[in-house]
Amino acid sequence: MLLIRIFLLLFVLTALAGLAVASENIGDSAAIGDYVIGDSVTGDLRWGENLSLDGYRLVAEDFSRESASPSVLLKLYQGSALLMEQPLCQGENFTFNDTGMVNVDSIFMPDRSEGDEEPSASVRLALYAAPSIQLHLTSDKDSYDPGEEIRLKLIAENDGTENAEGIQINLSSQPEFFHFHDGFSELGAGNSSEVGEGGEEKWIRLKAPLLPGPSQIRLKAVAIYSDSNWKEQESTGYCSLDVSGQISLHKSVTDEMVPGKEYPVILTLRNFGQGNVYVNLEDSISEEFDAESELSWKLELEPGKTETVSYDIKPKGPGVGLVLPSALATYDIGNESYESRSESLSVDVSGPFLEVEKKISSSAVNPRDDIVVSINVINRGNRTVKASLNEAVADWAKLMGGETHLSQILNSGEEASLSYRLSCDKPGDYEIPETMVFYSDARGDQYSVNSSSLSLEVLEEKPNVNKTVAETTSGTTPAKRDNSTGQDSSMSQGISVDQVTSTDMTRSDSRNGSAGSDDFGNLNHLNKSASLLISSASVLVLIYFLLGRIL
């Protein structure tokens, strides 16, 4: 019997010790009153030190030994906002917002004689276990046409520390065109559940509404649920999507292109309404592309009918993520005007692409002057190519020298050039024709590119200035006629340059051939001097006559 009593006493003492330990170390599932503790953190705090947990911060602001029992002044913050400020003695606690509690297990206050040792408090910050549901709402597309099925994915996730009970979920839209309701009894902590219809994968399905113009639909999901104490909580989730109006507009083109080639852009319009609609359609391209046609149309759409228009674009060079802007359709319904925009598109352009530049040394030259023509070819693409050209010389020009043929392999960014010289005899306006460069890549694809043509003016020949001046000077003095001889005065006086020169040259040549050349030069000089004297005398006579009339 004594042994049995000793055994029972040890059993009771062991049980009491276990309860003491449990009271000092409240676990994640320990209960305090009507609450269950979830997450918690414990630490020994000195002046200014703090504990943090899920956005809460507990600070040991000060210590006091004035009362019979020492105390610590604690401040509790949520973010930067002060929630509570309260002094606690050993074994005391306070709760906050029905969310958690703070308790002080022990306080150490050193004797004044112990020197530099600081007071400290063993403090615990604990949050009550609670459910926390997050709603994740998404759609299978960003935009829809009227009447098209919208598929929504709604996931409820409990990332709290306690089970959620009695979950009710409501889904509504703004503008309001549908309502959805679902619910389930419980969602465990750390678990998630899809909301909707279906087997393994659930969807919420609805139809896009018919509205006069394009609209953005805002969807709102609300979950109402309770914790284990039947405290009600609420969570929300949102999603937005676009619905086209009565006239829908879509734009399509291939998303991979090669520089220099043409690709069709297709615009598709549809009338979802009950009456005819007149539509003005416009489109545009970015600077990285060329388009030959005018990008505007006027269309009439019958109810339920679809119309398409298309045009070709040509990328100027390689690039990644090149953007084609959205097209715009404008239309009226009743007294209201509406706009419908298509998608904007992203295009990758990859491949060989050559640029060719052709220049001349001068656009205006004299006959028989050299004209230097230079051609430069550069590979702007991102593939290696083999380039070749054969320059043709126009019929009106003569090739004076240089190279007119090129054949070379060009890596990306490399360039090649040639130059040659032309001349032209006849004045006039001419055109040096464009140059065509052929090139191919390693896959055997063939391409070509043209330079621009060049304009050239060959000027008229300039007259001999010295000869013109001499002829003009000798013809300025009028000849006087001698009535007695019937000859001009200049002739009778032997001033005729032609006669003097002719006679003297004949005589000189008959005497001495070598001296005749010098005499001819002297007589030519005399001819110019005599002409100048006659012109000067005529001017002086005219001045004298005018002065006499004036005086």
> 3-state DSSP call for residue 495?
coil
**What is the model's pLDDT at position 534?**
64
Round to whole Å and give the CA distance between 169 and 222.
6
Burial zone of 51 (CB within 10 Å; 0-12 exposed, 13-18 middle, 19+ buried)? buried
> Confidence class of residue 125 from pLDDT cuts 50, 70 and 90?
very high
For range 167-188, the mean pLDDT: 92
For residues 274 and 537, which has the higher predicted lDDT (pLDDT)?
274
Name, in order, each residue with C-beta under 8 angstroms of 453's C-beta and a sequence gap of 6 or more: 431, 432, 433, 434
**Residue 195 half-sphere exposure, CB side, CA atoms within 13 Å?**
26
**What is the model's pLDDT at position 290?**
93
**What is the model's pLDDT at position 37?**
83
The model's pLDDT over 81-99, given as tens digits with 9 standing for 90+, comes to 999 999 999 999 999 988 8
Q: Are 63 and 72 in contact (CB under 8 A)?
A: yes
pLDDT at 522 over 50: no
**What is the model's pLDDT at position 198?**
84
pLDDT at 35 over 80: no
**What is the model's pLDDT at position 114?**
59
The model's pLDDT over 229-275, given as tens digits with 9 standing for 90+, comes to 888 999 999 999 999 999 999 999 999 998 878 999 999 999 999 99
Q: Are 451 and 434 in contact (CB under 8 A)?
A: yes
For range 494-523, the mean pLDDT: 40
Weakest-pLDDT range from 19-33, 244-258, 528-542: 19-33
Round to whole Å and give the CA distance between 432 and 458.
12
Burial track 172-209 (b if 16+ CB lie within 10 A, e otherwise): ebeeeeeebebeeeebebeeebbbbeeeeebbbebebb
Residue 150: what are its φ and ψ, rounded to 5°? Answer: -105, 125
For range 510-522, the mean pLDDT: 43
The chain-wide mean pLDDT, for the chain, equals 82
Strand partners, 204: 152
Orientation angle between helical segments 465-474 and 513-550, nearest 10 degrees: 60
Weakest-pLDDT range from 411-420, 428-437, 539-548: 539-548
The model's pLDDT over 337-381, given as tens digits with 9 standing for 90+, comes to 999 999 999 999 988 889 999 999 999 999 999 999 999 999 988
**What is the model's pLDDT at position 2?**
54
For range 58-63, the mean pLDDT: 94
Q: Are 281 and 243 in contact (CB under 8 A)?
A: no
- Sign for the pseudo-dihedral over CA of 258, 262, 265, 266: negative
Percent of the chain's residues with pLDDT above 90: 62
Residue 414: what are its φ and ψ, rounded to 5°? Answer: -85, 160
Q: Are 169 and 155 in contact (CB under 8 A)?
A: no
How much is the pTM? 0.54
> Confidence class of residue 528 from pLDDT cuts 50, 70 and 90?
low
**What is the model's pLDDT at position 546?**
64
Weakest-pLDDT range from 18-22, 180-184, 407-411: 18-22
**What is the model's pLDDT at position 494?**
40
**What is the model's pLDDT at position 182?**
92
